[in-house]
Amino acid sequence: QKEVEQNSGPLSVPEGAIASLNCTYSDRVSQSFFWYRQYSGKSPELIMSIYSNGDKEDGRFTAQLNKASQYVSLLIRDSQPSDSATYLCAVNIGPGTYKYIFGTGTRLKVLA
Amino acid sequence: NAGVTQTPKFRILKIGQSMTLQCTQDMNHNYMYWYRQDPGMGLKLIYYSVGAGITDKGEVPNGYNVSRSTTEDFPLRLELAAPSQTSVYFCASSVDRGTEAFFGQGTRLTVV
């Protein structure tokens, strides 16, 4: 069973702090990795994609990928109360597959 | 740019009734997906399509059917609704395999 694991949380951080969200995956041939933000009652919204080892930065968000250790993380700098949501990690288990495996999400609470 | 549009947003069905969840996208994406999301269970793939006329089963296809007659539309049919089909349904699309997937607003379905 190919799996994507996330700590369900809640992860509570004070406003202005760095929030660190982690995700591990079981399939070594996974090739594409995504972070989605989902507010309560809303649909998943794509935040970041990462395809190769290392860091990828976009504004306050940084995605980190380590394929050898099979984990991907998301850092949110200068966290804001509006960042409070559930963050879903998704993995495309490739090659040649169209399927994305989603983790159950980590709930983040940013305290004002 | 509307992206992925789903209708209806909410629906209540009686056991044994049938309905079609509509999904359309205007991004000219070849790949489309139907997911269901249950509390604490993450997103599960029901069906997917890699182009007009081509569909395949995902992880949880029982009780559902799909068709893909055009690039834009990917309706999901529920036959003989059961309480186990109470869930939130999301349609998504991507331009290619393993690339970023974009989600519709979701349909919250309750079967009573």
Share of chain A above pLDDT 70, in %: 94
Rounded Cα distance between B58 and B54, Å, is 13
Q: What is the pLDDT of residues B34-48, one digit of tens each?
A: 999 998 788 999 999
Type of residue numbered A8? S
CB contact under 8 A, A43 and B105: yes
In a mutational test of the A interface, the residue from B5, B32, B37, B50 whose CB has the highest number of chain A CBs within 10 Å is B37
Nearest to B101 among A100, A103, A104 (CB): A100
Rounded Cα distance between B46 and B107, Å, is 14
Dihedral (Cα; B4, B5, B11, B17), 10-degree rounding: -80
**B107-111 and B10-13 beta bridge pairing:** parallel
Q: Where are the alpha helices (DSSP H) in chain B?
A: none
CB contact under 8 A, A46 and B100: yes
Q: What is the pLDDT of residues B32-89, one digit of tens each?
A: 999 999 987 889 999 999 999 999 999 999 999 999 999 999 999 999 999 999 999 9
Name the residue of chain A whose CA is nearest to B38's CA. Answer: A104
Partnered with residue B44 across adjacent β-strands are B36
List the pLDDT tens digit at each of the 112 positions of chain A: 668 999 989 999 999 999 999 999 998 888 899 999 999 999 999 999 999 999 999 999 999 999 999 999 999 999 999 999 999 999 987 666 677 899 999 999 999 9
- Contact in structure between B45 and B61 (CB atoms under 8 Å): no
- Cα-flanking dihedrals φ and ψ of residue A44, to 5°? -65, 140
Name the residue of chain A whose CA is nearest to B57's CA. Answer: A99
Name the residue of chain B whose CA is nearest to A104's CA. Answer: B42
Nearest to B43 among A49, A94, A102 (CB): A102
Rounded Cα distance between A51 and A92, Å, is 10
- Contact in structure between B29 and B5 (CB atoms under 8 Å): no
Q: What is the pLDDT of residues A9-27, one digit of tens each?
A: 999 999 999 999 999 999 8
CB contact under 8 A, A97 and B105: no
User: For chain A, which residues lie within 8 Å of any Cβ of chain B, measuring from their own Cβ?
Assistant: 8, 31-32, 34, 36, 42-46, 49, 88, 90, 92, 94, 96-100, 102-105
The count of residues in chain B is 112
Q: Scanning the structure block, which residue is given the tokens 């983790």?
A: A103
Rounded Cα distance between A89 and A110, Å, is 19
CB contact under 8 A, B97 and A31: no
